[in-house]
Amino acid sequence: MNRASYTAARLLQIVPTFILIGIVVFVLVRILPGGPVAALLGDKASDEAIERITRQLGLDAPILVQFWRFLETIARGDLGDSIAYHVAVVRLIAERLPVTLLLTGMATIFAIALAVPLAFVAAVTQNRWPDLAIRGAFQVGLSSPIFYVGLILLTVFAGAMHIFPVGGYGETPGEHLYHLFLPALALALSFSAVIMRSLRASVIEVLSAEFVDFARAKGLRRRIVLGRHVLRNALISTVALIGLQIGDLLGGAVITESVFAVPGVGRLMVDSIFARDYPVIQGLTLALAVLVSLVFLATDLVQMALDPRVAK
Amino acid sequence: MTPAPILTISGLSVSFATPHGIVRAVDGLDLAIGAGEVLGLVGESGSGKSVTLRAVLRLLRRNAAITGRIDWRGQELLTAPERRLRDVRGGEIAMIFQEPMTALNPVLSIGLQIEETLAAHTDLGAAGRRRRAIELLSRVGIASAAARLDDYPHQFSGGMRQRVMIAIALAGAPKLLLADEPTTALDVTIQDQILKLLRELAGDLGMAMVLVTHDLGIVAETCDRVAVMYAGRICEAGPVASVFAAPRHAYTLALLRSVPSGGPARQPLDPIPGQPPRADRPIVGCPFAPRCGFATGACRTTRPPLEAVTPDRVAACFEAARLPAWREAA
């Protein structure tokens, strides 16, 4: 199989994934305690009103018909209206999602920028002091929970030194980057520790491969041997891990955005759960699940680009 | 030795620090390779052949301690600065490995793997490197070379991969090719093609070659001279025909008796009894003495020096004069 057909096959795989996500979300909303009708009408609604709303929402139709309608509306890009905000769920998500994506993107870039060079230094100085120092520092990063790291960063850089804002998102793109710097850094610390450990181990493994000796025997500069021959091979297994970690960040946005008062989809999710705003919960769950599966798709495609043997 | 040596190794010792103590892989080795000459370096597994080759280009790992002298056309390689060493590696002395599947980088196209050697050792631009890469691949017998530049190692057969590795080695126009068992991983028919190709390239390009092997048949077919290694030392060296006809070291004789000789006058096979000495303790006397039928008292106490036995042969054996002729000179 060549690269084009591998890509096509991998893209097709996303269809059953999306259908599965649809089923899970559909079922989830219907088994939640209270349910959408109670959420709309409150606890003291009359039986008559409940019956009317149930019919209005189409909840009296057979379950398969309901599921078909559910898929149909999603396919049209319609996720219903928010009960609490009285606007289209799609609009609400479109407003908040870029914030979360920017935060996740920044955290990913920070983590990679931190982990890749240090993993290399650690690997080539294996078990000597630079390696031990780097591993020790990352061990601390790995074992500190995000909210704790976040609070320390806020206290030092926002509270005491006033270099960064305490929270929020700002108005202009420049302000966005400025406001999200500390939360992204807090996220990046444990993220980069995971990448660093994995990459260090694979670099050490790749360094003992014979093609590294052959590359040196060709008279290549050390920079080329490490940057081209070692890095490409070592990244293959680490890329999968980076993908998983980004998925984690998206799913974990609920916690981090609450700690740093960032107005992203995580905060929206928390607010909607407290407000029992089912259409928003359903829409967000759907959006995040789709997003995570797109990240995994991207991971696979990057891996294919790095390793020609994947598409054989 | 007829041609003036381009590479002279003297008193080379290589030992490795391992968790189980110091292991000595090469133990005071002397060897010279003449310009344009094809030298077969033979010996059992673990006799230090590969380590010797890697020591020449200083490709050994950090735990290796190397002493001795490696004189490359008047320049000492063991103390050469890294910059100079990079010019020698690939540009003056190239090396090919036993297993091309692991020696070629699996995630880089073979075109790139040839072109990066060209980039390191020539002034060619990108287009020139590509043209030269195609020429090199055609030269080693890869059909429709231009179309295969963007292919990856796993898309080639074993024999073709070895040809690619040879093309990479030739890219820097080296004066010496170190070939570390280049055909061991291949089918017998392919082995033959690759050896013919190497022999032909060495002749056409005036390139010297050290061919490491444990196969005496390959040496007889391919090499001008042979050097026999045992326990990290050279036992004897000289022109192939004369060494094989009348060995001057008891180990060479034992080695010749232990393999099928081919031809009509077959001799009965005679495996060498015992084991090579352990590499983790010092060796007193001749390392082969415990397994040798000719050994005398001196062999067990004094290390026999590697000395000229005829104008073009050297041997390190006290009992050289007592050894019978192995077979008629070819």
Give the minimum alpha-carbon distance from B3 to chain A in angstroms, rounded to a whole number. Answer: 26
Q: Do B105 and A229 touch (CB under 8 A)?
A: yes
* Chain B residue at shortest CA distance from A234: B107
H or E element at residue B200: helix B188-205
Tokens found for residue B320 = 């050289």
Q: What is the pLDDT along chain A (312 residues), one digit of tens a residue?
A: 677 888 888 888 888 888 888 888 888 777 766 666 776 677 677 888 888 877 777 777 888 888 888 888 888 888 888 878 889 999 999 999 999 999 999 999 999 999 999 999 999 998 899 999 999 988 887 788 877 888 888 888 888 888 888 777 888 888 888 888 988 988 888 889 999 999 999 999 999 999 999 999 999 999 999 999 999 999 998 999 999 999 888 877 777 788 788 889 988 998 888 887 888 888 898 888 889 999 999 999 999 888 988 775
Give the minimum alpha-carbon distance from A236 to chain B in angstroms, rounded to a whole number. Answer: 10
For B120, the closest of A220, A233, A308 (CB atoms) is A220
CB B12 within 8 A of CB B43: no
Tokens found for residue B149 = 């530049």
Long-range CB contacts for residues B70-74, cutoff 8 Å, separation at least 24:
B70/B7, B70/B8, B70/B9, B70/B12, B71/B7, B71/B8, B71/B9, B71/B10, B72/B6, B72/B7, B73/B6, B73/B7, B73/B175
Spatial separation of the C-alpha atoms in residues B200 and B220, rounded to whole Å: 15
ipTM of this complex: 0.91
Spatial separation of the C-alpha atoms in residues A82 and B239, rounded to whole Å: 92
Q: Which residues pair with B179 in a beta bridge?
A: B96, B211
Provide, as residue numbers in chain B, all residues whose Cβ is less than 8 Å from the Cβ of A312.
154
Report the phi/psi class of residue B74: left, alpha or beta, with left for phi > 0 and alpha for psi in -120 to 50: left
pLDDT attached to residue A35? 66
pLDDT, tens only, A78-116: 888 887 888 999 999 999 999 999 999 999 999 999 999
Kindly report the backbone phi and psi dihedral angles of residue A88, in degrees, each rounded to the nearest multiple of 5, phi listed first: -65, 135
Q: Which residues pair with B18 in a beta bridge?
A: B21
CB A194 within 8 A of CB A271: no
Q: Which residues contact B144 (CB under 8 A, 6 or more apart)?
A: none
Q: What is the mean pLDDT of chain B?
A: 91
pLDDT attached to residue B329? 42
pLDDT attached to residue A169? 82
Angle between helices A146-153 and A173-207 (to 10 degrees): 130
The fold of the B5-92+174-322 domain, in CATH, is: Rossmann fold (3.40.50)
For A214, the closest of B103, B121, B152 (CB atoms) is B103
Which site among A6, A207, A218, A306 would you substitute to test the B interface, given the most B Cβ atoms closer than 10 Å to its Cβ? A218
Residue type, B178: L
For B116, the closest of A220, A306, A308 (CB atoms) is A220
Helices (H), chain A: 3-31, 35-41, 47-56, 63-75, 89-124, 129-143, 146-153, 173-207, 210-217, 222-224, 231-251, 253-259, 265-274, 278-306
Length of chain B in terms of residues written: 330
Q: Which residues contact B190 (CB under 8 A, 6 or more apart)?
A: B158, B159, B162, B183
Q: Do A213 and B94 touch (CB under 8 A)?
A: no
- Within 10 angstroms of residue B12's Cβ, the number of other Cβ atoms is 25
For B106, the closest of A216, A217, A309 (CB atoms) is A309
Spatial separation of the C-alpha atoms in residues B298 and B286, rounded to whole Å: 9
CB-facing half-sphere around the CA of B41: CA atoms within 13 A: 30
Spatial separation of the C-alpha atoms in residues B202 and B224, rounded to whole Å: 12
Provide, as residue numbers in chain A, all residues whose Cβ is less than 8 Å from the Cβ of B59.
213, 216-217
Spatial separation of the C-alpha atoms in residues B226 and B178, rounded to whole Å: 14
pLDDT, tens only, B200-227: 999 999 999 999 998 899 999 999 999 9
Report the phi/psi class of residue A4: left, alpha or beta, with left for phi > 0 and alpha for psi in -120 to 50: alpha
Q: Which residues contact B26 (CB under 8 A, 6 or more apart)?
A: B12, B13, B14, B48, B51, B52, B55, B232, B233
Band of pLDDT at residue B266, cut at 50, 70 and 90: low
- Residue linked to tokens 């008629």: B328
Domains of chain A: 3-75 (no CATH), 96-306 (1.10.3720.10)
CB B90 within 8 A of CB B57: no
Spatial separation of the C-alpha atoms in residues B326 and B330, rounded to whole Å: 11
Q: Which residues contact A234 (CB under 8 A, 6 or more apart)?
A: A199, A202, A203, A205, A206
CB B29 within 8 A of CB B316: no
CB A229 within 8 A of CB A149: no
DSSP-assigned letter for residue B304: P
CB A143 within 8 A of CB A194: no
Pairing of strands B313-315, B307-310: antiparallel
Band of pLDDT at residue B1, cut at 50, 70 and 90: very low
For B116, the closest of A210, A216, A218 (CB atoms) is A218
pLDDT, tens only, B267-315: 667 788 888 888 888 888 999 999 998 888 899 999 999 999 999 999 9
Q: Which residues contact A194 (CB under 8 A, 6 or more apart)?
A: A142, A241, A245
Q: Which residues contact A59 (CB under 8 A, 6 or more apart)?
A: A36, A37, A66
pLDDT attached to residue A47? 81
Tokens found for residue A126 = 């294996």
* Chain A residue at shortest CA distance from B87: A219
CA dihedral A118, A122, A128, A130 (to 10 degrees): 0
In which residue ranges of chain B is CATH 3.40.50.300 found? 5-92+174-322
pLDDT, tens only, B146-179: 999 999 999 999 999 999 999 999 999 999 999 9
H or E element at residue B120: helix B110-121
CB B235 within 8 A of CB B316: yes
* Chain A residue at shortest CA distance from B172: A218
pLDDT attached to residue B330? 39
* Chain B residue at shortest CA distance from A310: B107
DSSP-assigned letter for residue B291: G
Residues of A with CB under 8 A from a CB of B: 209-211, 213-221, 224, 228-229, 232-233, 236, 306-309, 312
Read off the pTM: 0.84
Q: Do B121 and A219 touch (CB under 8 A)?
A: yes
Spatial separation of the C-alpha atoms in residues B77 and B57, rounded to whole Å: 8
